[in-house]
A = this chain, B = another copy of it.
Amino acid sequence: MREQSTLRGRLRHIIFDYDTLPAKAFDLALIVAISCSVLVVMLDSVGPLHTLYGPLFLRLEWFFTFLFSIEYLLRIYTAKSAARYMRSFFGIIDVLSIFPTWLSLFIPGTQYLLVIRFFRVLRIFRLLKLMQYVKEANFVRDSIAASARKIFVFLFFVFVLASIVGGLMYMIEGEENGFRSIPEGIYWAIVTVTTVGYGDISPQTTIGRVLAALLMITGYSVIAVPTGIVTSEMSALRRSRGKEVYCPNCPSAVHSDDSRFCRYCGTRLQKPEEG
């Protein structure tokens, strides 16, 4: 259990947990701050607004950088293990999100730094915790994790298909119809097989269109594969998460709630109290 006697302990609780009012308040404030800072980055990218409010945006950018820097230092100070926090995913996100602005002091800030700065938005996922969506988030995450390998196989197939069709289209359509290279053909094939279909490149020759039609129909029907995978994983996950009975002898054993005897040691099981 957590010791909250010291200031450090209390701070840690407020910063890292989300089960009491102050901790919730901190997280909420943080999310608001992140949203605002991201909003500033967004608006600053809009030409007209930049010319009008550029300096204001810069000042705000610095304000948020200070804020997040203080937060970062507090996290390092209060974390049970500073090292583990700094090496953690969000630890890295946190430092990366403040780093660019500081760096721009020494190197004039290029737009490429913005790339890093923008990852700050990931912190917003804490909102799910605040809104008690953790169970749902885990369910989605688990079912994706359980499907990951099968989905990988599927995407691998899609990519190989796209490569071959992309190569074929480059030869069939050629540069005069916008397929200027095989990589471009593959890009077109992915745009097509995923049914996005920008139309920035589209086949003109008859045989090219026949091949394109086949690719579309393939993409249109193989979408059924990942869907089927995830769906059957989710149904399985749901079933496995039904009411469960535990055996007094085999703590590990989980039984469906219609079991009357442990299927490992034959002991009579106690029904769980209905909640």
Contact = CB atoms under 8 A, between A and B. Distances in A.
A209 interface: yes
Contacts of A268: 266
Interface residues of A, number: 105
A252 to B, nearest CB: 5
Interface in A199-214: 199-200, 202, 206, 209, 212-213
A61 to B, nearest CB: 14
A272 interface: no
A22 interface: no
Contact of A195 (B137, B194, B262): B194
Interface of A: 38, 41-42, 45-47, 111-112, 114-115, 118-119, 121-122, 124-125, 127-128, 133, 136-137, 139-140, 143-144, 147, 149-160, 163-164, 167-168, 170-171, 174-175, 180-184, 186-187, 190-200, 202, 206, 209, 212-213, 216-217, 219-221, 223-236, 238, 250-253, 255-256, 258-266, 268
